[in-house]
Structure 1
Amino acid sequence: MRVLLALSRLIDAVNDGIGKLTYWLVLLAVLVSSGNAVIRYSLNHSSNAWLELQWYLFSAVFLLCAGYTFLRNEHIRIDIILGRFSKRVQAWVDIFGILVFMFPMTILIMVLSWPMFMDSYLTNEMSSDAGGLIRWPSKFLVPAGFFLLTLQGVSELIKRIAYLAGAIDEPGEKMHGHS
């Protein structure tokens, strides 16, 4: 169990680090959006590349932070119903949800999105809009984001099992602090 908990801590650290780095993408998206708006209205000039960059950054924030959100227990849950049960029942429900719903969905999305990314990468697919960006980086975000979410699911699964085995205190409490 110690090895699995060490793996869980490593996965948590990876998603925590990526989540905190992704905070900066929000700022960058705001700056790009603001700069683009100022240039468009003051100089009557616009660029599809800047518009697409905003879309890429917005996508990166949501896709790369899914695992971070799960780590911090900030994801959407059915707490109004689940909160009425004991912590042990809640852990069992989490285990069931991760195994039966989350893993099949995240793995399916990774498997189906990988060929789309590879095709885009190998053909150096470009935007169909004039002056647009290459497409493969945005297509890579889908399998990458769902991979990070799957990894965090592994970590959360380990923590729930360790909790039920009495090896750790209750996992899954909402983390507080800056977000």
Structure 2
Amino acid sequence: MIADPALALEPTRLWLERAVIGLNLCPFAKAVLAKGQVHFALTPAQDWGGVCEALVREAAELLARDPAERDTTLLVAPHAPADFVEFAGLVAQGERLLANNGWSGILQLASFHPAFQFAGVDPEDITNSTNRSPWPTLHLLREASIERAVRAFPDAADIYEANMATLRRLGPDGWAQVLAGTP
């Protein structure tokens, strides 16, 4: 829990720059950040209902804007469930909300969490870090942008394996250095 939720945005921005882009965990992220098309939003909501309301509001706002202006939104929810399994339930609820609003096939919801854990993987395994963010985060992506990115990157299916290899090579100490911004 964070006393001032606004303090969650800067660590999230640094995580995106240093880890996601710096390690090329998502080869599509660099261009949209460089073009100023990534919107960082914050919800101080402390319950599922409030986070879901913020998600719907941000989805509508994303769709109301030209993709050249805003292509994707990271909704940081520092008071979302700290328990990863509970957060996964919130993500499933978010996906249902997108579908109920007629946004299936238009928007996609990805998520990141400080305690992310792949199924069947030890919680301490460094590869979990590929999806670990400083704060619980819901990521709204335009399906059309994903399709364009995948066409431009024909080996998109290999990203997952490359990310795992990168994290294994770095190890916990290297990962900590990346997050801290030290060489």
- Scaled by the length of structure 2, the TM-score of the pair is 0.27
Higher Rg:
1
More helix by share: 1
Bigger relative contact order (CA 8 A; separation at least 6): 1
